[in-house]
Amino acid sequence: MGIKTKLTELCGIEIPVIQGGMHYVGYAEMAAAVSNAGGLGIITALTQKSPEDLRAEIQKCKKLTSKPFGVNLTLLPMLAPPNYDEYVQVIVDEGIKVVETAGRAPDQFIKLFKANDIVVIHKCVAVKHALSAQKLGVDMISLDGADCGGHPGEINSPPGRGVGNWVLAPRGAEQLTIPFVVSGGVGNGLQLAAALALGAEGVNCGTLFMATKEAPIHENIKKALVNGDEYDTTLIFTSLNNTERVFKNSASTKVVEIEKEQPGDFSAIKDYVMGENYRRSFQETGNADDSCWSCGQSLALVHDIPSCEELLKRMVDDAERSIKSMSQRLVSKM
């Protein structure tokens, strides 16, 4: 048995599950492990300090897997933005065939990607953004619900604006003419089956893959995910209109408090949210409490630390059982 969808066909993979781009997680080892297990592994471009570092990481991944893998390119407003043109050229030069874009629309790069037969999966937090990306010519949408880790859009401006996947996915199915996957809050095979039932072609997972044996992060971070529940995330950067869902700990709680007292003042929270703090927690100290790191509400569904192969097999098995169970509920009418 298996699950065949437009995602598996478009990307040449066996299992309709994407390991989304993640800062300080999406390295060659992570991407290769997911791809070798049948899913679509993703290298995070901007975790690499330079375009040439990205090239080296891609070449490393090629040595670890012969199966398809992609690159995440997140286009965000920054005071000192990276040289996106050079990162894109490396992606093209290295023959990458799947790119996950996020942040602003990839309009300046879409022609180059399409000219090189690169499948573009664009992550959107609202259907209206997905429709705009569809007009640009992207191949697939990753609809990102408000329960996702990282940037879920400005879900508190105005309050109540955030939309979860239970509504976002069927809204996408109603309006989009290109395929989409469900992203955010996905932690097991039952949700994979549910996503397919809602009209999606697969799912995109981040937090779930952080808690795998191959994830290149400290074991204490993985244990924090296993021990967490659906209430162990919080939202920071809300006063800066750059909302991010992160693990709820001392550092993120302090940032929330400061933002209430000094809204819009990045200098007041800078020391708590530095990327170097994030990297050090994941790669050196394993202290899950002293930095602000992205994490979705799906950590409630993380109960152990399997290999990527074990995880994806479990997801497919659970999804197949769920689909069979639903089909058995159909009753013929006389």
- Report the alpha-carbon distance of residue 107 to residue 16 in Å, rounded: 26
Using pLDDT thresholds of 50, 70 and 90, give the confidence band for residue 80. confident
Q: 199-258 pLDDT, tens per residue?
A: 999 999 999 999 999 999 999 999 999 999 999 999 999 999 889 999 999 999 999 999
pLDDT tens, position by position, 96-130: 999 999 988 899 999 999 999 999 999 999 999 99
At 334 the pLDDT is 63
pTM (two decimals): 0.94
CA 116 – CA 130 distance, rounded (Å) = 22
Whole-number Å distance between alpha carbons of 101 and 141 = 10
162 pLDDT tier (thresholds 50, 70, 90): confident
**Whole-number Å distance between alpha carbons of 67 and 145:** 29
Torsion of Cα atoms, 144 then 250 then 80 then 107, to 10°: 0
Average pLDDT of span 176-199: 97
For domain 6-216+301-322, which architecture applies? Answer: Alpha-Beta Barrel (3.20)
- Which residue shows structure tokens 């997911």? 34
pLDDT tops 90 at residue 63: yes
- Is the per-residue pLDDT at 148 higher than 70? yes
What does the pLDDT look like over 307-326, one tens digit per residue?
Answer: 999 999 999 999 999 999 98
Domain boundaries, the chain: 6-216+301-322, 233-285
- 143 pLDDT more than 80: yes
Question: What is the Cβ-side half-sphere exposure of residue 323, based on CA atoms within 13 angstroms?
Answer: 17
Amino acid at 308: C
Q: Using the predicted structure, report yes or no on whether residue 8 has a pLDDT greater than 80.
A: yes
Averaged pLDDT score across all residues of the chain: 94
Q: What is the pLDDT, as a whole number, of residue 16?
A: 98
| Banded model confidence at residue 161, pLDDT cuts 50, 70, 90 | low
